[in-house]
Structure 1
Amino acid sequence: MLIESMATSLVVGKVRGGKLENIGKVQIRGWYFFVLGFIIEFTSVYLKMKNIGIISTFINKYFIYVHSLSYILIFIGLILNFKNKSMILVFIGTLLNFIVIVANGGRMPVSPEGLKTAGLISNLEMLKNDMIITHTLITDSTKLSILGDIIPLSKPYPFPKMISIGDIFLGLGIFCFIQGAMTKKGIFSRKSKMIRFEYKKR
């Protein structure tokens, strides 16, 4: 979802006369919070999967806390950049995903019916066998399942998958962020080539 949002926004940005090089000029406050958060996230998941000695044992025991720490760091980075309104959308999406993940022991719940609709049968079988450490199937005991991966994107969508309400906010936020960076103006700006507001005197 995030990759598609980025790619779509890049294309739309070019159509609107934006420049790719403008993205590199964007000032991100507290960028190191994002970097550290993602490093902790991916490292912890990798170690949990590989089961490497005492470190993996620690990660397994305290995974939800390590997982939460990575999110908290990302939240701090997003809050520091609230001046950019698109970051608020990203924050909302990340927060919604974080809430449901924490409520379910550190895993994102996924709808089994949605997986069937999306044609992701292999993923369904892997989740049934507890082979995906970051996700779990929705059951009667799942908490806040409405915030889980319950929305199927099936064919003809080129990349069938399951997404959450939080993912939609994330995708929209990233789309708007790239638009603002490339064109130096928001999608709903009066000067925007996408949406124009014209006022006529009567």
Structure 2
Amino acid sequence: MFVLLVLALVGGVTVGLIRGGTLDALVRVYVSRPWVFVAAIATLIAGRLVPGLHAAAWVVATVAIVLFAAANSRLPGVGLLWVGIALNTVVILANGGRMPVSLWGAERAGVPVSELRASAQHTPGGADTVLRPATDVIPLAFPNAAAVVSIGDVLVASGIGLFGAVAPVRARRALESRRVRDTPAAGVRPDDDPKADDPDLASAEPADAHLGQ
């Protein structure tokens, strides 16, 4: 899944740059409570490292992402992000704390079944699998990084890609709007404009103040 997320981010940002966004604008996007997002990712990593925490980690991560999405509802892609994580959590809880993986998908992606049987986070899918369409059923035969992902994973990747494609464009427009607004009126010398002497005033307003518009 990691490769999918990286590709989604790189692809999204590339689209955003093609559409006129800039990296400078992207890094200026204001994100509320970023530590909540970091905590959610750290929790998921801990869940992979400590087998007994896998299901609990997804529950905690889901709650954290919901809080993060609520605080950043104007940011593109956050809705897809939390829906994808929530869907994965429901599937994992419904299947005893592990994510079922389609044997058909594993074969086509090149994932050894022995790895699934030995995994503490995954289990081979079967007749008793609950919510089978939402389990790991989509094969991704990446070189040296074969994987089988779920619809939830695709939604998470889509949210990240959407953010990369839209956020830099909206942020650039917001920056340009601020520059036009902050330009001294005709007849006023730059030396008479307080903002010209204090660059901090020009950046006091979050860059994404108009992202939701």
TM-score (norm: length of structure 2): 0.70
1:67–1:106 contact (8 Å) kept in structure 2: no
Equivalence for 1:107: 98
Equivalence for 1:127: 116
Q: CA, structure 1 residues 169+74, in 2 after alignment: closer, same or farther (shift >3 Å)?
A: same
The CA distance in 2 between the partners of 1:116 and 1:6, in whole Å, is 27
Q: CA, structure 1 residues 72+159, in 2 after alignment: closer, same or farther (shift >3 Å)?
A: same
Residue identity in the other structure for 2:160? I
Structure 2 regions of 5+ residues with no counterpart? 172-213
Structure 1 regions of 5+ residues with no counterpart? 49-59, 186-202
Q: CA, structure 1 residues 91+108, in 2 after alignment: closer, same or farther (shift >3 Å)?
A: same
2:110–2:141 contact (8 Å) kept in structure 1: yes
**1:131-146 pair list within 5 angstroms:** 132-146=119-133
- Residue 113 (structure 1) shift: 0.9
Q: CA, structure 1 residues 87+161, in 2 after alignment: closer, same or farther (shift >3 Å)?
A: same
Secondary structure class of the residue paired with 1:184: helix
1:114–1:152 contact (8 Å) kept in structure 2: yes
Residue identity in the other structure for 1:31? P
1:109–1:138 contact (8 Å) kept in structure 2: yes
The CA distance in 1 between the partners of 2:146 and 2:166, in whole Å, is 28
Equivalence for 1:149: 136
Q: CA, structure 1 residues 178+63, in 2 after alignment: closer, same or farther (shift >3 Å)?
A: closer
Equivalence for 1:30: 33
- Residue 77 (structure 1) shift: 1.0
Q: Deviations over 1:111-136 (max 9, x none)?
A: 0111111222x3x22112x2x22211
Q: CA, structure 1 residues 22+171, in 2 after alignment: closer, same or farther (shift >3 Å)?
A: same
1:29–1:80 contact (8 Å) kept in structure 2: yes
- Residue 159 (structure 1) shift: 5.3
Number of equivalenced pairs: 168
Equivalence for 2:44: 41
1:149–1:164 contact (8 Å) kept in structure 2: yes
- Residue 160 (structure 1) shift: 3.9
Equivalence for 1:181: 167
TM-score (norm: length of structure 1): 0.73
- Residue 150 (structure 1) shift: 0.5
The CA distance in 2 between the partners of 1:95 and 1:66, in whole Å, is 12
1:92–1:166 contact (8 Å) kept in structure 2: yes
The CA distance in 2 between the partners of 1:13 and 1:85, in whole Å, is 12
Residue identity in the other structure for 2:49? Y
Residue identity in the other structure for 1:37? A
The CA distance in 1 between the partners of 2:16 and 2:32, in whole Å, is 23
